Amino acid sequence: MAFLSDTLARVKPSPTIAVTTKAAELKAAGRDVIGLGAGEPDFDTPQNIKDAAKRAIDEGKTKYTAVDGIPELKKAICAKFERENGLRYAPNQISVGTGGKQILYNALIATCNPGDEVIIPAPYWVSYPDMVLLAGGTPVPVVATLENDFKITAAQLEAAITPKTKWFIFNSPSNPTGAGYSHDELKALTDVLMRHPQVWIMSDDMYEHLVFDDFEFVTPVQIEPGLYDRTLTCNGVSKAYAMTGWRIGYAAGPVELIKAMAKVQSQSTSNPCSVSQYAALEGLTGPQEFLTENKALFQRRRDLVVSMLNTCPGITCPKPEGAFYVYPDIAGCIGKTSAGGAHIVDDEAFATALLEETGVAVVFGAAFGLSPNFRVSYATSDEALREACTRIKAFCEGLK
């Protein structure tokens, strides 16, 4: 009898975590490595949030809490949805979990049966398909190309929906492309969804606050209130408040689904960390200037990286609307040989040779469901970004 489950055999470990680990190992071994793999802000959690956590510890808020969140935090999340998205939810429509990741996972585990299909626009965040597989569902990728700015069209969505479709996972701005759907682009999708009442919508709004120029963030229920009863609007404090390690994510949706998610969580992690919940409460209710400052910082970095990568031979780098990623196309590099003798047969070979020969760590496109590309996380210093792009350019110039 096999020890490991059949389900586990179908999933792969997170390639982004693998790249980050590999870069850290090389660094520890003394190599000069610039990591552009990790999807987290490079700066610290704001002081007011850290202070709130210290207060929570001193006040003894160190016990189990309600499974899916303390009432104060749920109230603050309701206020956030009303303030920032014009959406009204009651506290019993809110779920708080150990990161956005657990929220999405709880929802999939609570709802997927074998054969249920989950539509996932590609390139996608690496965890979506594997979480669907762990939940017993079938991921159905729908590929958005560079020509369409990495966004799927209404016709593509319509064509992917079948009687077995349970969820449509929507992520804007996107990890890994940074692509953000405008009001009209999203309306075209919500119009399709209105015609298919069996399809539920999981909107992953994790990068809501990281949008640039005059781009306006929108979430599906805001555009189409008719989807309110079958949408789970997911978000979290990880990226917006530089709180990745605190592990707090949340969602709003129909009571029945929220209750089902709490049932899953009650049998896995119980509640999210009590201290982190008080920290997140301060994040959502305290001063918000931090968000605007971050936006300006990331916009400057995006502009720097896009302009530098577009000077690299064989690379085309579109300018995305948000998040802290770019997803350059490297079609012009495939089939060549690097200065170090590596044959660049695909984007994984490109990323491997780039790391070995220049010390720049990026994640290859195949991990996200669209090749040949790689993902750059520009959540690092301007200086490191400049140096990394210079090395990438030298690497590309060396391809023969």
Ligand X SMILES: Cc1ncc(COP(=O)(O)O)c(C=O)c1O
CA 195 to CA 193: how far, in whole Å?
5
Residue 28: enclosing H or E segment and its boundaries? helix 15-28
Q: How far, in Å, CA of 361 to CA of 363, rounded?
A: 7
Residue nearer to ligand X on the CB measure, 199 or 202: 202
Min dist. Cβ of residue 290 to ligand X (A): 17
Cis peptide before 372 (omega within 30 of 0): yes
Integer Rg of the chain from CA:
21
Binding site for ligand X (CB under 6 A): 39, 99-101, 125, 171, 175, 204, 206, 236, 238, 244, 249
Write the CA distances from 299 to 102, 146, 215, 378, integer angstroms: 29, 21, 12, 10
The kind and range of the H/E element at 232 are strand 231-236
Q: Least distance from C-beta 249 to ligand X, angstroms?
A: 4
Contact (CB, 8 A) for 210 and 292: no
Q: Which CB sits closer to ligand X, 174 or 358?
A: 174
Report in angstroms how near the CB of residue 100 gets to ligand X at its nearest.
Answer: 3
Q: How far is the CB of 238 from ligand X (least distance, A)?
A: 4
The CB-of-391 to ligand X minimum distance in angstroms stands at: 25
Q: Compute the distance between CA of residue 72 and CA of residue 49 in angstroms, rounded to an integer.
A: 15
Pick 265 or 358: Cβ nearer ligand X = 265
Nearest to ligand X of 65, 171 (CB atom): 171
Three-state DSSP at 142 gives strand
* CB of residue 171 to ligand X, shortest distance in Å: 5
Contact 308, 389 (CB under 8 A): yes
- What is the smallest separation between the CB atom of 365 and ligand X, expressed in angstroms? 16
* Cβ nearer to ligand X, comparing 39 with 253: 39
User: Whose Cβ is closer to ligand X: residue 174's or residue 338's?
Assistant: 174
Judge whether 181 and 151 are in contact, CB under 8 Å.
yes
Taking the least distance from each CB to ligand X, the nearer of 124 and 395 is 124
Q: Least distance in Å: CB of 308 to ligand X?
A: 23
275 or 342, CB closer to ligand X? 275
Q: Are 158 and 199 in contact (CB under 8 A)?
A: no
Q: 274-285 and 47-58 helices cross at what angle (nearest 10)?
A: 140
Closest contact distance (angstroms) between CB of 173 and ligand X is 9
Phi-psi category of residue 118: left, alpha or beta, with phi > 0 → left and psi -120 to 50 → alpha: beta
In the complex with ligand X, the residue whose CB is nearer, 39 or 123, is: 39
Q: How far apart are CA 22 and CA 32, in angstroms?
A: 13
Q: How far is the CB of 300 from ligand X (least distance, A)?
A: 21
Question: Closest Cα partner for 123 from 309, 320, 304, 301?
Answer: 320
Name which of 386, 394, 312, 382 is nearest 353 in CA terms: 394
- Angstrom CA distances, 286 to 59, 70, 241, 277, 283, stand at 19, 17, 11, 14, 6
Give the residue at shortest CB distance from ligand X.
Answer: 99
One-letter amino acid for residue 278 of the chain:
Y
Give whichever of 101 and 151 is closer to ligand X, judged by the CB atom: 101
